[in-house]
Amino acid sequence: MSQSSLIPLPVRPDLGFIDRLTELAGDSFTQCYQCGTCSVVCPFAFQGTGLPRREMALAQWGLKDELLASPNLWVCTTCGNCARVCPREVDIPGTIRAARELFLLERDPSRELATAFENTSRHGNPLGQSARKRADWTAGAGVEVPVMAGLGRAVEVLFFTECYWAYHPRGIEAAQAMARIMAALGADWAVLGTEERCVADSQRLAGESGIFEEAATANIATLGKYQFTRLVTPDPHAYNAFRNLYPELGGTYTVQHYTQFLAERIPDLKLGRVGSRRVTFHDPCYLGRHNGEFEAPRHLIEAIPGLELIEMGHCRANGYCCGGGGGEIWNSGFTREHVDERLSEVRVREAVAAGAEVLAVCCPFEVSLFEDAVKSTGHQGQLEVRDIAELLDESLRA
């Protein structure tokens, strides 16, 4: 090929953008050598997105406009499977999060995300529900749910309910099941009630670090008013924030996901037979892959008489994403415009193919996501979606 036949590419690196990205995400993205391993394990690998290899190249080259204009920036769920296999240990989810933060400094998010951000700032939850109603779920639990402000003493367990268990109809059912389990254990526990506000880790992952820091400041101040031995939450994203981010902000606690807390107390649970059912478990990305907890949920399922635990092909560290992480729970309309099939639908098909009758979950986002996917894939009557807390509550009542 002659020199005159070469076509010049209009590459205009923005070195200032590289510096700002490095300040927010570290410089690991500069170590990417474009091997493509990340794109092989990305849950969107077979939908032609090129995620996240393409975005890492754009970041390395400082191609600000191209990176910030990429739909992939908002399709990514920050599930972390890419970082798990990266031979150069690039913090790919962190780079995506940082790019989103820089995007929001000068551009508007989707209407869905903007609404979730505004609701969190105004009401303390992304669903836009009144803060005064945050403890309303306790009324239907059928057992007493103590509230810290009314106790006037220390407790062993401060249960941080989080937004979807406090407000979403399916989340409320799981929260009430958990309250009955705590009562059956005779646990010394309480909730914050109306003093609690969203942890906002998913908002942080969607680029809104300001909302996260504001929420963290408020929650740390509230938690500082009370004495408790451990902080327990049903939300893997809240667990991630309490465990890994709050200590840097002045909030250091002994933190457990509710499955970890209950797995330690299996001998104290009088579990009855619930009938013979094949159950598969979906590993939440921010409980499993990001924080290393794979066993506790499985121990609980295996402890319930009558349930047979079967694994899907993608499980544990190689588990598939539900599609709701990284703020995508509030960005589904945008995602549908850019991918052929939702990740929740792919996961439901995998559960059915594995022969499961029940898809067990332990993240507040997942019940509604997967129940919608069961309907959209035509598997009503074949697959039931249940939170592990609901399964345990059913077994205690058997």
Within-domain flag for 303: yes
- Give 338-366 as a DSSP string: T-SS-HHHHHHHHHHHTT-SEEEE-STTH
Let me know whether 117 and 243 are in one domain.
yes
Task: Enumerate long-range contacts of 138-141, CB under 8 Å, 24 or more apart.
Answer: 138/176, 138/179, 138/191, 138/193, 140/172, 140/176, 141/175, 141/176, 141/179, 141/180
Let me know whether 308 and 185 are in one domain.
no
Which of these three, 106, 127, 161, is where a domain ends? 106
Let me know whether 298 and 339 are in one domain.
yes
pLDDT digits (tens, 9 = 90+) for 61-73: 999 999 999 999 9
Which of these three, 106, 129, 155, is where a domain ends? 106
Let me know whether 102 and 146 are in one domain.
no
Residue 5 clears pLDDT 60, i.e. is over it: no
Within-domain flag for 1: no
Within-domain flag for 152: yes
- CA 317, CA 119: separation in Å to the nearest integer? 33
Q: Residues 118-146: what's their mean pLDDT?
A: 98
Q: Do the bridges between strand 255-257 and strand 277-281 make them parallel or antiparallel, or are there none, so unpaired?
A: unpaired
Residue 195 clears pLDDT 80, i.e. is over it: yes
Q: How confident is the model at residue 255 (pLDDT cuts 50, 70, 90)?
A: very high
Within-domain flag for 4: no
Predicted confidence at residue 6, as pLDDT, reads: 59
What's the structural domain count of the chain? 3
Let me know whether 341 and 229 are in one domain.
no
Please, what is the average pLDDT of the chain? 96
Residues of the chain with pLDDT > 90, as a percent, come to 95
DSSP 243: I
Beta strands in 225-380 (DSSP E): 228-233, 255-257, 277-281, 307-310, 358-361
- Give 35-53 as a DSSP string: --HHHHHSTTGGGT--TTH
Residue 284 clears pLDDT 60, i.e. is over it: yes
Asked if 68 and 107 count as a contact pair (C-beta separation under 8 A), the reply is: yes
Let me know whether 19 and 94 are in one domain.
yes
Residue 4 clears pLDDT 70, i.e. is over it: no
41 by Cβ neighbours in 10 Å (0-12 / 13-18 / 19+) ranks as middle
pLDDT digits (tens, 9 = 90+) for 153-173: 999 999 999 999 999 999 999
Q: Residues 355-367: what's their mean pLDDT?
A: 98
Asked if 173 and 390 count as a contact pair (C-beta separation under 8 A), the reply is: yes
Let me know whether 289 and 275 are in one domain.
yes
Predicted confidence at residue 12, as pLDDT, reads: 80
- CA 56, CA 75: separation in Å to the nearest integer? 15
Within-domain flag for 3: no
Let me know whether 98 and 159 are in one domain.
no
Predicted confidence at residue 240, as pLDDT, reads: 98
Which of 5-19, 46-60, 221-235 is the most confident on average?
Answer: 221-235
Predicted confidence at residue 8, as pLDDT, reads: 59
Question: How many Cβ atoms sit within 10 Å of the Cβ of residue 220?
Answer: 15
Let me know whether 89 and 123 are in one domain.
no
Residue 9 clears pLDDT 80, i.e. is over it: no
Within-domain flag for 246: yes
pTM for the whole structure: 0.96
Predicted confidence at residue 1, as pLDDT, reads: 44
Q: Residues 108-122: what's their mean pLDDT?
A: 98
3-state class (DSSP) for residue 106: helix
- CA 208, CA 326: separation in Å to the nearest integer? 11
Which of these three, 240, 263, 286, is where a domain ends? 263
Q: Rounded to the nearest 5 degrees, what angle is found at the Cα of 176, between the Cα atoms of 121 and 356? A: 100
Let me know whether 276 and 241 are in one domain.
no
Instruction: Identify the CATH number of the domain in which residue 82 sits.
Output: 1.10.1060.10
Predicted confidence at residue 386, as pLDDT, reads: 98
Predicted confidence at residue 48, as pLDDT, reads: 82
pLDDT digits (tens, 9 = 90+) for 48-60: 889 999 999 999 9
Within-domain flag for 194: yes
Let me know whether 243 and 256 are in one domain.
yes
Instruction: Identify the CATH number of the domain in which residue 331 sits.
Output: 3.40.50.10700
- CA 150, CA 191: separation in Å to the nearest integer? 10
Locus of tokens 């739909």: 71
Let me know whether 76 and 199 are in one domain.
no
Which residues make Cβ contacts (< 8 Å) with residue 243, sequence separation at least 6? 255, 291
Within-domain flag for 353: yes
Structural domain containing residue 286? 270-397
